[in-house]
Structure 1
C-alpha cells in the first residue's frame, strides 16, 4: 500500500517527549478546534474532518495561488464575471479536498513521528482513531473527487492538476532525506497559480511564472515559521526542516525569500500592467510580512503560530487587491 513508499520509521528515545498533562492539553485543544461547526457532525465523520484539517485555516494556502492565477488571468482577458466566479468556487472546494488529501498522505507516512509530538499526537491516524487502511481508502476517494470536480473546467486543468499529485505524495519523503522539505512543499502549494490561468485558457507564461515563484517564496517563509513550533521535537526524532537547518539564521534567510517574493510581484505588476488594487495590496502584504518577521520570536510557539495565521490574512488581502483590479477592468475603468 501507499505507506510502503516511505522507509519505515524507527524512533528510539530514552523517555517520551510528552507527559500525561501534554496529552490532556492536546485532547482539549483538539476538541476546542472543532467548535462551533465540526463538533456537530456525526461522530464517525469527525476524525475524517480532522484528517482533512477542516478545523484549521491551512486550506487557504492552497486556494490563494488558485485565486491569484484566476483573477490575474481574468483581468487580462476581461473574462465574464460568471465564468471567473464559477472557477473560483470550484477552486475553493477543490482546495479543501486537495489540502485534505495532502494531509492524509502526510499523516499516513508520519504516524510514528506524530505520536511523539504533543501538537500532533491527537491527529486521527497517530491516535488510532483512523486506521491506515481506512486512511488510504479515504485518500483515494479524495483524489478521485478532486479530479472529478476539476473536470467541470477544461481538461487541460485536470491534466495540469494531476501532474502535481506525485509531488504531494513524495513530500513526506523529503522530511527524511533533506533539510529543505519546505522547497518541495512550495511546489505543491503554489501549483494553483498555474491552474488559475489554465482554467481560463490563458497561457500567459510570464505571469504564470511570476505568480508561481512568488507563491513558492512565500510558502518557504510561512512553513519555516510553522516548523519552528516543533523544532525541539523534530531534532530528537529525526524530522528535517529549514527551521533546523537555518536555526538562528532563519530570519535572515526568510528576509531574502520575502524580498524575492516582492520582486516577483514588481515584475508581474510592471510587465502585466496591473492596476491599483494589485499595487496597494502587494505592497501592504510585503510590509506586513517584513514587519511580521521583525517581531517574530522563533523560540516562542505562540508567536510562530500567530505569525503563521497572520499569513492567511495577508493572502486574503492580496486576493482582494487583484479582485478589485479585475472588477475595474470589467467596468472599463482601467
Structure 2
C-alpha cells in the first residue's frame, strides 16, 4: 500500500492571516510564494532599507562635490527593490532547503511548504534557481565595481543557514549578509567605498543582530529542544542589556557615518527619531511574549523608513 504524495496546492497553514498571497495568488503558486516569504514582506523591507539608506547618503556625498545624480539614484533604487525581493526570496528558499528537517520539529516553522509537503525538494531547487536568475539580471545592470561588491556577499548568504549549528550568535552572520546593501548605494553612485560606507555598514550589521535577536526569542524553547544555537538562547534574560549595547553601538556608528558624509540637520533628526524607536523596543521587550517580540521586530521597518526619510530629505536639500 502506498501513500499519495502531498498536494502542491495544499491549504494555507493554520496561522495564515489573510495576506495577499492567500487572497489573490493562484492556488498553484501559493506554496512557492510562501517559500519565498512573499506573504511576509517584512524581510524584504529590512533587506532593502539599508540599500536605500546608502543611496541617500551617497547622494549627500555627491552633493558636497556639487554633482548629485538624483535621476540615476532613482533607477538604482528601483533595481535594488527588484533585487532585494528576489534575493530575499532566494535566501529564504535556500534556508528552507537546508533546514527542512529542523523546521518540521519547530512549532512556528512546521507549516512551511517543504516540511508540510506542499513543495517537493526538486520544486524548491528549481524555484531557487529562478529567483537567482532574476537576481543575476539585476546584478548585470550594475557598474563593474558594484558587481564585484555584490558578488562578495554571496559566501555569507550561502553559509548563514548553517551557522546556527556551529555558533551561538548566527545573527552576526545574518547581519553581515543582510546589511550588504549599506555598501551598495556607494558602490553604484560613487564606485568606491569611502569611510562613511564602512561605518554605515558596521552600524547596520549591529542593528540587524539586535532586531533578529528579538525575533529569535519566538523560537527560543524549540531551538533548545532541537539543539540549534541563537543569540536569544545565549543572551536569555540579559537580552535587554545586550540590546542596549548593540543598538547603542549601531546608532554611534551610523552617526559617525553621517558625520563623515557631511550630513545636515534633517539626517541627524532622522537618526534621532530612529534612536527613540530603538529605545522604545528595548523598554517594551518581554522575551516571553512571542506576539510582542514579533511586533517589536516588525517595527524596525518603520524605524528604518524614518531614518531613510531624514537621509533623503538631507540629500535633496543639499
TM-score of the aligned structures, taking structure 2 as reference length:
0.91
Question: What pairs up with 1:89-238 in 2 under 5 angstroms?
Answer: 89-238=78-227
Task: Flag structure 2 segments of 5+ consecutive residues without an equivalent.
Answer: 1-11
d(CA) in 1 for partners of 2:21 and 2:115?
Answer: 23
Counterpart check, 1:322 vs 2:307: no
- For 2:34, the equivalent position in structure 1 comes to 50
Counterpart check, 1:27 vs 2:13: yes
Question: What pairs up with 1:240-259 in 2 under 5 angstroms?
Answer: 240-259=229-248
SS in 2 for 1:177: coil
Q: CA RMSD in A?
A: 1.4
- For 2:60, the equivalent position in structure 1 comes to 75
CA contact (8 A) 2:107 2:222 kept: no
SS in 2 for 1:229: helix
Counterpart check, 1:308 vs 2:293: no
d(CA) in 1 for partners of 2:121 and 2:168?
Answer: 27
- For 2:273, the equivalent position in structure 1 comes to 284
With 301-310 and 114-123 compared, the bigger mean Cα shift is at: 114-123
d(CA) in 2 for partners of 1:269 and 1:327?
Answer: 15
Q: Using the TM superposition, give the Cα deviation of residue 274 of structure 1 relative to its aligned residue in structure 2, in angstroms.
A: 0.4
CA contact (8 A) 1:147 1:162 kept: no
d(CA) in 1 for partners of 2:73 and 2:22?
Answer: 30
Aligned length, in residue pairs: 302
d(CA) in 1 for partners of 2:130 and 2:145?
Answer: 22
- For 1:66, the equivalent position in structure 2 comes to 51
d(CA) in 2 for partners of 1:206 and 1:84?
Answer: 20
TM-score of the aligned structures, taking structure 1 as reference length:
0.87
CA contact (8 A) 1:39 1:46 kept: no
Q: Using the TM superposition, give the Cα deviation of residue 162 of structure 1 relative to its aligned residue in structure 2, in angstroms.
A: 1.7
Q: Using the TM superposition, give the Cα deviation of residue 196 of structure 1 relative to its aligned residue in structure 2, in angstroms.
A: 1.1
CA contact (8 A) 1:151 1:157 kept: no
SS in 2 for 1:325: helix
Task: Flag structure 1 segments of 5+ consecutive residues without an equivalent.
Answer: 1-25, 330-334
* 1:48-101 alpha-carbon deviations (Å, 9 max, x no partner): 111111111111111011111111111211322211111101111111111111
* 1:276-313 alpha-carbon deviations (Å, 9 max, x no partner): 22111111111110121111101100110110011111
CA contact (8 A) 2:57 2:315 kept: yes
d(CA) in 2 for partners of 1:305 and 1:232?
Answer: 15
d(CA) in 2 for partners of 1:172 and 1:314?
Answer: 26
CA contact (8 A) 2:20 2:39 kept: no
Q: Using the TM superposition, give the Cα deviation of residue 38 of structure 1 relative to its aligned residue in structure 2, in angstroms.
A: 5.1
